[in-house]
Structures are given as C-alpha cells and as structure tokens.
Amino acid sequence: MFAVYYRPDLRPLAEEFKNRYGAVDLTCRGEISHVFILGGDGTLLEALRRFPCVLDFLVVHLGMGKVNFYRSAEFTISLEEAVERVRRGAYRVLELSTLVHDDCRALNEVSIYRREPGRLLSFRVKTDEGEVVGRADGVIISTPHGSSGYVVSTFGPVVDYRADAMVVSFIAPYTLFLRPLVLMSNQVVVETGEDAILVCDGRETRQGRSFLVRKGEKRLKLAVFDEFQFLRRVMGRLQSL
C-alpha cells in the first residue's frame, strides 16, 4: 500500500493520488510499502519528525519544493511516472544515515545553542577519539549528506554521503583553533557550561547542559530512479539556500 505525506498547498494533488491509487495518509499503522512525499526537503523532514516510522518504509520524494536535495529523480517526473516506475521495480534504494538524540531523528543535523541569543556557549565536545573544549555561538553535528546544509555557513566541509562519519562544526568560534571535524565516532557528547537548547533539523526539541548524539541505527531508504549525482545536488542545494 502507498502512503502519502504532503505540503498543505498540494492537498488537491494528494487527494487525487489517494483516489487513483488507493493510497492513504501517512500513519504508523497498516501495511505500508512506500511513502510518497509531495513537497520539498522540508516536507520530508516534517514527515520524519511526526512519523519516525518513515524510516521503516521506502520513500519516494517527488521534489516539489524549493530545496529538493533528497528527490528520487534527478530531473522532474510526474506522479504517474513515479508510480509506474515503483510498480515495475525500476529503481534502486539509497540508504542515508541519521542522527539520534532522545526522540530526535535528524536526517541533516542537530544544533546546540545557548538559550540567550548573542551570548557565547562554553562547551566540551567528547568523542571516542578524545575531546575539544572551547567557546562559540553554537555547535553543529551533521550527517555526511547533511554537511552541505547548515554546516556550510561555518565553512565546514562537504562530505561524501557514503562516508560513515559524523561532522562537527562550530558557529562563529571565539578562537581560531576550532576547526570542523569529520569523525568516525559512533557518538558525540556535548557538555555546556550554560543552559542550552538542541535544535533537531530546524526544530527545537529540548533544553539542558549535556547532549548525547548518536548515529541512528535506522537509515532513510530513498528510492532513486536514475543516477544520484551527489555533486550536482550539492550545487543545487547551495544555490537554493
């Protein structure tokens, strides 16, 4: 069975899709095989936030937004063509890593800031390979494919999506020795000297002074209909930000 999650203004298209193909609105119940995303990357992130079970299904992202890094097709195709390709099995599955912090499931990144805007955050970043202590406006921990999102504003590296790594970067660091890190660690702990908030893919989730961010055990399974041109998508993402 197909399920659909859509941007509000695309509701008429979603209703047509449900009527034509017997699809249902996305829930975490029922026998679902594929989740069709009608919208852009923001719609996909919202679906994952509201329904973590998205990671249990195969995702077909139609790329109908401003930012469409995770789209299933390299070039725009119709909903009808996407369904036909799915039914024929004319796709491959791309698995993309996630980050986990409590109830947060991040596809791009988690960010940690001081609660009071404009104040430096004192922190200690602890990994399997040691620790880094410093002060900055904030700390970002991203997936490899998420490194071409928010991380680029910190002059961090764009990391190949196939790397089994976590990317740690610092927002406006107070001292120049703080540089972005690409780590093979399975988890990162950020301890702060002041009350801080954690933002999960753009949404605030919790406050505290200690945050454990792990590589997620589940990955996003994205149906890809043709070549996944990583650098082409990175350039498109950067130009749309």
pLDDT digits (tens, 9 = 90+) for 17-57: 999 999 999 999 888 999 999 999 999 999 999 999 999 99
Q: Provide the 10 A C-beta neighbour count for residue 160.
A: 13
41 catalytic residue (yes or no)? yes
Query: Domain ranges in the chain?
Result: 2-97+219-240, 99-215
For residue 112, give Cα distances in angstroms to 98, 118, 216: 17, 14, 18
- From the list 41, 128, 195, 226, the catalytic residue is 41
CATH-assigned architecture of domain 99-215: Sandwich (2.60)
DSSP string, 116-167: STT-PEEEEEEETTEEEEEEESEEEEE-TGGGGTGGGGGTPPP--TT---EE
Q: In which residue ranges of the chain is pLDDT below 70?
A: 240-241
- pTM score, whole prediction: 0.92
What is the reported pLDDT for 163? Answer: 93
Answer yes or no: same fold for 2-97+219-240 and 99-215.
no
What is the reported pLDDT for 168? Answer: 96
CB 175 within 8 A of CB 135: yes
2-97+219-240, which class in CATH? alpha beta
- In the chain, the largest separation of any two C-alpha atoms, in whole Å, equals 58
Phi, psi of 205 (to 5 degrees): -120, -40
What is the reported pLDDT for 110? Answer: 97
